[in-house]
Structure 1
Amino acid sequence: MRHFQETKSIIISIFIALIGFFLIGVIPIYQVSQIDATSISILDLAKLENEFRAAMAQIFGGLLLLIGIYLTWRRISAMEQTVEITQKGQITERFTRAIDQLGNDKVEVNTGGIYALERIANESSEDYWPIIEILTSYIRKNSPPEPGMERNELPIDIEAIINVLRRRKNYYENGEPSPINLKQTYLEFADLNFINLKGANLSSANLFGANLFGANLFGANLEFANLEEADLDEVNLNFANLKLANLKLANLEETDLESADLEETDLEGATLFGANILRAKFKSANLKNADFLSTDISIDQLYEAKNLQNIKLDYELIYEIREKHPHLFERL
């Protein structure tokens, strides 16, 4: 390969030299030969030939400059390609090493692998989504506790991945091609405040006592999810699917539930003070002992609910129900 490059360089050099000889040596003589010698002196002819030669030399110099610029560009492009290939090779090596760490039994090595993958995801847009899928898959596989085991905090490795997901730069429909999949995960008491899980699949997830303050769960699937005693204060649950979810004693204060589906959802003892429930569906929902003060819940929404025993409503609404909807009032 090296011999071929040397031969190629010699041929190109000879070709350029021939062009220079033709432009500077041959063309000026030819141009002068086309002039009628009887109408001009020999001295003037020589002077004219030198002028032609000087002009050709400038053209040849410009040509050499363009060739030099082109060759420099080629060298820079080759160097950039080499650097890119080297960087990709290094990322691949780091990626492989991090995956090996992820499967290690030692928690400190395992956690190091998680944060190594986070760094790669931040540096490589090509590897970003595969890494997110790997980490969420890890949660789905490793978050369930041992049979009969009770816990009040997450394992270190699962907590580390949650922190990575909270810090990630993209979210669904903004750099991520698909919603996050955390289906059937065990994230009880997890700290998920301000996490962006737009459109995420959290169906049948255990989020008992989790802190979701200020999180974005727009359009998320929380069907059958356990959110008992969870903090959902100021969470965006627009268009979320909360069918058959357990929200007993959950804090939904000032939560945005516009157009959310809460069919057969258990909201017993939940606090929805100041929540936005415009167009939310409460078909067959359990609203026993739930706090709906300052929520603008409608008569139609109350009618479709299953259990309204001891529900807390604004005085004006209670008065309207008593005066105009006595059958509904009997259910309160």
Structure 2
Amino acid sequence: MTRLRRWGQYELARPAVRGMGTVLAAVGLAVLAVVYAIALWRMPDWMHQHDPKDRHNARLLVVSAGGAVVVAVSLLYTARSYRLSHRGQVTDRFTKALERLSSSDIDARLGGIHALAHVAADSRPHHDDVVEVLEAFLRRRAPKARRDDGPTSGARPHLPARPDSDVQAALTALGRRPRRPERRRLDLSGLHLAGARLAESDLGRVNLPDADLQRAELWKANLQGAWLDGTDLRARI
């Protein structure tokens, strides 16, 4: 009930806020118009011009300055509109890519992964969100690494020799993501990633403890600062 009341108060306050913003904008424009008119009228006297031609040139200077201000404001408004439009487009691409990741069709999932990679490259504000989404996708799709804890009575699950195509695509997208400061370390610990193609990937500061990277292609991969406690790197390329 309290949350509903707050929401109602917020909705009621929104028209008042918009109205106040419109009033302030109108007052600001009126003040600028008055200042412009006074400057156009008084500028020749302020510049101590008495010759009619010089007074005309002084007023032309005011007109030119006013035109420059109008052009600058128009450019700022256009740039703001472009930023808002671009942000909306990127957010729409991000949302559609998320919908594809949950599809049962492998091609749709691959398209979603590639779309997220492009979003991360094009939009710095979405970078960390893309990384976290792809990490969650890997944790959902990649099998857990097999741990040799001694004999077991049950049958051991079959683990693939190479990652599935969508898992590999997510690994490639994460390994080649733009190098930017991130709010937390990428966590791929405990995953079965044997045979993964990770050549020239950026895995710096990635958590990989207890992950299975047997036969993984790690040629020129950056592992600086990665946590490799218990990581299986046997027969790596």
How far apart are the structure 2 equivalents of 1:22 and 1:161? 67
Match of 1:228 in 2: 234
CA distance change for structure 1 residues 57 and 197 in 2, over 3 Å: closer, same or farther?
Answer: same
**Residues 1:185 and 2:191 aligned together:** yes
- Cα offset for 1:201? 0.8
Match of 1:166 in 2: 175
Match of 1:216 in 2: 222
TM-score, normalised via structure 2 length = 0.74
AA at the equivalent of 1:227:
L
**Structure with more contact order per residue of length (Cα contacts < 8 Å, sep ≥ 6):** 2
User: Structure 2: any 5+ residue segments left out of the alignment?
Assistant: 1-18, 146-155
CA distance change for structure 1 residues 106 and 61 in 2, over 3 Å: closer, same or farther?
Answer: same
SS of corresponding position for 1:126:
coil
**Residues 1:156 and 2:165 aligned together:** yes
User: Cα deviations across residues 97-127 of structure 1 (Å, max 9, x unaligned)?
Assistant: 1111111111100110000000111111111
How far apart are the structure 2 equivalents of 1:145 and 1:198? 22
How far apart are the structure 1 equivalents of 2:234 and 2:161? 14
Match of 2:99 in 1: 100
CA distance change for structure 1 residues 113 and 62 in 2, over 3 Å: closer, same or farther?
Answer: same
**Residues 1:125 and 2:124 aligned together:** yes
AA at the equivalent of 1:163:
T
Let me know the Cα RMSD of the aligned residues.
Answer: 3.0
- Cα offset for 1:10? 8.1
SS of corresponding position for 1:154:
coil
Contact 1:195 / 1:215 at 8 angstroms: preserved in 2? Answer: yes
Contact 1:199 / 1:219 at 8 angstroms: preserved in 2? Answer: yes
Match of 2:204 in 1: 198
Match of 2:134 in 1: 135
Counterparts in 2 of 1:247-258, with a 5 A limit? none
TM-score, normalised via structure 1 length = 0.54
SS of corresponding position for 2:127:
helix
User: Cα deviations across residues 134-157 of structure 1 (Å, max 9, x unaligned)?
Assistant: 212221222016972232221111
Which has more helix, going by share of residues?
2
- Cα offset for 1:227? 2.6
Percent identity, aligned pairs only, is: 22
Contact 2:43 / 2:62 at 8 angstroms: preserved in 1? Answer: no
